[in-house]
Amino acid sequence: MSIVNITVPDIGNVDNVTVIEVQVAPGDTIKKEQSLVTLESDKASMEIPSPSAGVVKEVKVKVGDKIKQNDLILTLEQADQTTSQALPKTEPEATQVSSTANVQVIRIPDIGNVDKVDVIEVPIKVGQSIKKNQTLAVLESDKASMEIPSPIEGIVHDIAIKVGDKVAQDSVICSLTSQEQKPEAKPEQKIEPKPEPKPQPIAEPTSEAKPVSNDSIYASPGVRRLARELNIDLKTIAPTGEKGRITKDDLNNFIKNRMQSTGASMGVEPMPVVDFSQFGPIEFQELSRIKKLSAKFLHRNWVSIPHVTQFDEVDITDLEEFRQQNKSKFEERGVKLTPLVFLMKASVAALKAFPTFNSSLQGDQLVIKHYYHIGVAVDTPNGLVVPVVRDVNLKGFMELAEELKTLSTKARAGQLTAKEMQGSTFTISSLGGIGGSAFTPIINAPDVAILGASKTHMAPVYQNGTFVPRLMLPLSLSYDHRVIDGAQGAHFITYLGEMLGDMRQMLL
C-alpha cells in the first residue's frame, strides 16, 4: 500500500478552470481511468481520469473551486502495486515506436469548400486502441458538423489538436501506431473494459462527447453546459445525431416541448380528458392552422407576461364629425376612412411621448425602438392574424387607409407573407364593428403593450353646467407590468384620449 497524490495533468493552454463536478468521495474504491472530477473552461468541459486504481483517502477540491495544472485533486491509496504496474506496461508497448511498429500521421482530409473549421470534440486519448472508421474528431463549420473517421486501425501515439482549435485540410489530427502483429492478442483488451469509453483525457481539453456506451451520454460541451444550467437530465432526451449523439436541436426541441406542455412549468395539473358523449350528441372540429399557431403564442404570452389592463372612455364626437365630413373623399379612391386610421396616428403620438411603450424587454435591458410599426388584428374565417403597417408616423390618412385595405384583403384570403406579420412595435385590436364595452387584449410579444377598442356609444357628459350627448369610445390598454407601471399606463391612455379628442394637437 502506498499513498499517491493525484494532481491536475496538462490541460492545454488554459488556466484557472472551474470544478463543476466531484465524482468521488473518501473511501471510494476507484479503477484506473475512472473519472474523478469534471472541469470547465470557456471553451470545453473535461473529465479528469484517475491514472491508477486505489482507494480515495482525501479529496482536496470541491465544486466551484478554480484550479490549474499540478494542483492537488486528491490522495489515493493504491490498492495493489503489482496491478498498478501491470497496466502501465502496456502503455509503452502501445505507444512506443519499435521495429515492429509503424507510426502514421493522420491529417484532416478534404472537407469541401471550407477553411478554418472549429474542433468541437476530440473523443480519443493517447494510448487508446482505435478501429478503422472510428471517429477521431468532430469539426463544425458555420453550416454543418462533421466527424473525421480514422482511415486505419492502430493505437493513439500522439494528439495534435484540442477542442477550440481552428483546423483546415491537411492539419494534423494525431499519429497512430499500427502494429504488424495482431493487436487483438495483446493485453490491450484488459485496459479496455467498460471504463474505456468514459475517461476524458486532459492532455487536450476535449469535449465531453464520448464514444457511446450504455451508461454514457454523447453530447458536446455546449449542449451539456446548457442542460446543466437548466437542470435537464440528458438521459431523458432522445438523440438524433450520428452514433447516438445529442445535438443542439435535440436539446432545443426538448426545451420547446417542455415549455409548451400545458401547466407543466407551473406545477398545474393538466386538463382532464372528458368523454362528453356521455352527456349528449357531440361532433369534432379540427382547429385551423392559424388557430393552432395562435394558441401557442397566446398561451405563452399570457403565462409569461404579467398583464395589467387600463380602461378608459374617450370623447370622439368632434373626430367622428370630421370623419363623416371627409369619408366621401376616401370612398372616391375606393377606400374607407375608419376610426382605426385615427387610432393609429394618435397611438404614434402617444408612443413618441411615452417611448417605453414602444420597446421590447430583452433580459435585463429595454430595447427602445425609434420606428413606429403598428400591428392591426384582423379577424379572418381561419382565425386572428396581425399584419403590420410600417412607418405609420411617415404616412398620411389616405395612404394608411389604402394600406389597411390591402393588408386586410390579403389576410382574409390567407395570402399574408411572414414579413408582413413581423416587426410591430405596438398593436391595436378593434372590436368596434362588432360590439362590447371592454375586454382584455393579450400582449403581442415582443411588444410590451396593446390597445383594444370597443363599440362607440352615446353618453351624457357634463360640460359647462349641463349634460350634453357625446360619442364615447371605450379603450382597453394592456401592458407588461415588468416594463410599465400603473401611473405610466394611466398617463399614456389619458394622453391618447387627448389626441383623439382634438387631432389638431398632433400637429403641435
Nearest to 154 by CA among 172, 179, 117, 174: 179
Other Cβ atoms within 10 Å of 88 Cβ, number: 14
- CA 431 – CA 17 distance, rounded (Å): 59
- Rounded to the nearest 10 degrees, what angle do helices 317-331 and 397-412 cross at? 70
Instruction: Output the DSSP codes for 174-200.
Output: EEEEEESS-GGGSGGGGG-STTTTS--
| Closest CA relative to residue 262, chosen from 214, 296, 223 | 296
Nearest residue to 452 (alpha-carbon basis) of 493, 393, 499? 493
CA-closest candidate to residue 157, choices 235, 97, 87 = 97
Rounded Cα distance, 33 and 190, in Å: 12
Q: Closest Cα to residue 112, out of 134, 149, 137, 145?
A: 145
Residue 159: its H or E element? strand 154-159
Contact 213, 170 (CB under 8 A): no
Cα–Cα distance measured from residue 386 to residue 426, given in angstroms and rounded to the nearest whole number: 11
Question: Could you tell me the end-to-end alpha-carbon distance of the chain, in angstroms, rounded to an integer?
Answer: 92
Q: Which of 299, 307, 481, 491 is catalytic?
A: 481
Sheet strands (E) in 392-482: 426-430, 449-453, 457-463, 466-480
Consecutive H or E run containing 3: strand 2-7
Helices 339-353 and 397-412, packing angle to 10 deg: 110
* Active site (annotated) includes residue 481: yes
Residue 277: count other Cβ atoms within 10 Å of its Cβ: 9
CA 110 to chain centre: 33
154-159/166-167 β-pairing: unpaired
Say if residues 28 and 56 touch (Cβ distance below 8 Å): yes
Rounded Cα distance, 450 and 445, in Å: 9
Cα–Cα distance, 337 to 402 (Å, whole number): 9
Query: Would you name the residues annotated as active-site residues?
Result: 481
